A = this chain, B = another copy of it.
Amino acid sequence: MTSYNLLLLPGDGIGTEIMAEVKTVIDWFGKRGVASFEYEQDLVGGSAYDAHGKAVSEATMAKALAADAVMFGAVGGPKWADVPYDVRPEAALLRLRKDLALFANLRPAICYPALAEASALKRELVEGLDILIVRELTGGVYFGEPKEIVTLENGQKRAVDTQLYTTSEIERIARVAFDLARTRKSRVDSAEKHNVMKSGVLWKQVVTKVGAEEYADVSLGHILADNCAMQLVRQPKQFDVIVCDNLFGDILSDVAAMLTGSLGMLPSASLGAPDATTGRRKALYEPVHGSAPDIAGKGIANPIAMIASFAMALRYSFGLVEAADLLERAIAGVLDKGLRTADIYTEGTTKVGTHEMGAAIIAEL
């Protein structure tokens, strides 16, 4: 039986509570014999800063590099609002993405019919929505140098960030998007600002070339990022796969997530390139939602996004597609039965806590 080792990084806020539920899910799949899962848990974000003054320690980084997959909860909170820039909780996430070379961020925005009412949009616009945002995650303005604040002679300050993309960075993320589109509706929309950004010009050129030369069977559209944000609000179902750079992906995926009305439901995967010899790829899985410090410790957080992130791990890291399907069906099943955590509760449904929701998913499995 193949054996996988996972690093669990619950992080801050509700991270610990939702990770606890994932553990029982991992154990369930382990006991069922689909594979053997070993896991270890460690600190990250504000809790790591409190423990050793860094958002992620070198020891933790080494474990993350060695793991088959990292399960990441959420980081940050008002407690760490004023810690120095380099050790702020988010720095851990950025370092993990960069050092593990997780260039492909997959963010599905799915609107479960049972939850369509929770959307700010009219039901008919979002019911059955199923978009996948493929966001470049290790380049662009997030990491480009120079990235600094300098004091000028006149006493003024000047801040600089650098948006930077190379041909190969764009090619590899485009391929991820096209490959995934083939498993869906075979449609990719590439969002950029080629009308004002040179990186947008190159982005459009490279995506066009990859599409024409390698994916003639996939239909490709180009859309300006501002218009894409508009169209997501106007008529979201027009999209299948959207591919974009790091910063546009940050915003567009949040808009797409919010359309579904249920942030607490949405997982994400951050993937590296397959290893040339083993074929395994480094990966980190995390919910789209944040650490929600306001409800932390109350046992009411929604563990579904975290559990669905493990379903993505089953699918993308371990190739256990049937197990992933099974887990996703179990999640849909408990929703059909009317179970809801507070964030998705509506009249006529049954309100449950974090652990009850986790247990119900296990029972459904």
A250 vs B142: C-alpha distance in the bound complex, in angstroms?
19
Stretch at the interface among A27-35, A144-152, A277-285, A298-306: A144-152
Q: Is the CB of B199 within 8 A of A161?
A: yes
CB of A79 closer than 8 Å to a CB of B: no
Chain B residue numbers with a CB within 8 Å of A158 are 164-167, 202
CB of A255 closer than 8 Å to a CB of B: yes
A163 vs B161: C-alpha distance in the bound complex, in angstroms?
5
| Contact among B156, B257, B259 with A166 in the assembled complex (CB-CB below 8 Å) | B156
Chain B residue numbers with a CB within 8 Å of A248 are 251
Known: A120-B122, A254-B227. A149 touches B196 (CB 8 A): no
- Please name the residue on chain B nearest to A250 by beta carbon: B226
One complex includes copies of this chain to the number of: 2
A125 vs B235: C-alpha distance in the bound complex, in angstroms?
17
Within A114-171, the residues touching B (CB, 8 Å) are 120-122, 125, 141-142, 144, 147-149, 152, 156-168
A234 vs B255: C-alpha distance in the bound complex, in angstroms?
9
Known: A161-B199, A163-B141, A163-B162. A255 touches B258 (CB 8 A): no
Q: Is the CB of B235 within 8 A of A255?
A: no
Interface string of A242-274 (1 = CB under 8 A from B): 000001101100110111000000000000000
| Contact among B125, B159, B257 with A198 in the assembled complex (CB-CB below 8 Å) | B159
- Please name the residue on chain B nearest to A196 by beta carbon: B142
Q: Is the CB of B148 within 8 A of A159?
A: no
CB of A66 closer than 8 Å to a CB of B: no
Interface string of A313-330 (1 = CB under 8 A from B): 000000000000000000
Known: A156-B168, A163-B162. A251 touches B225 (CB 8 A): yes
A226 vs B258: C-alpha distance in the bound complex, in angstroms?
11
Shortest distance between the CB of A146 and any CB in chain B (Å): 9
Q: Is the CB of B229 within 8 A of A257?
A: no
Known: A167-B157, A196-B90. A233 touches B259 (CB 8 A): yes
CB of A88 closer than 8 Å to a CB of B: yes
A147 vs B196: C-alpha distance in the bound complex, in angstroms?
10
Chain B residue numbers with a CB within 8 Å of A202 are 149, 157-159
CB of A230 closer than 8 Å to a CB of B: yes
Q: Is the CB of A85 within 8 A of B159?
A: no
Shortest distance between the CB of A13 and any CB in chain B (Å): 15
Q: Is the CB of A141 within 8 A of B197?
A: yes
Known: A251-B226, A257-B230. A166 touches B152 (CB 8 A): yes
CB of A195 closer than 8 Å to a CB of B: yes
Known: A197-B141, A198-B147. A120 touches B234 (CB 8 A): yes
Residues of A within 8 A of B (CB): 85, 88, 90, 94, 120-122, 125, 141-142, 144, 147-149, 152, 156-168, 193, 195-199, 201-203, 225-227, 229-230, 233-235, 247-248, 250-251, 254-255, 257-259
Sample of 30 A–B contacts (CB below 8 Å): A85-B201, A90-B196, A120-B125, A141-B141, A141-B196, A144-B160, A148-B198, A149-B201, A156-B167, A158-B164, A158-B167, A159-B164, A159-B166, A159-B197, A159-B198, A159-B201, A160-B162, A160-B163, A160-B198, A160-B199, A161-B162, A161-B199, A225-B250, A226-B250, A226-B251, A229-B229, A229-B255, A233-B233, A233-B255, A234-B258
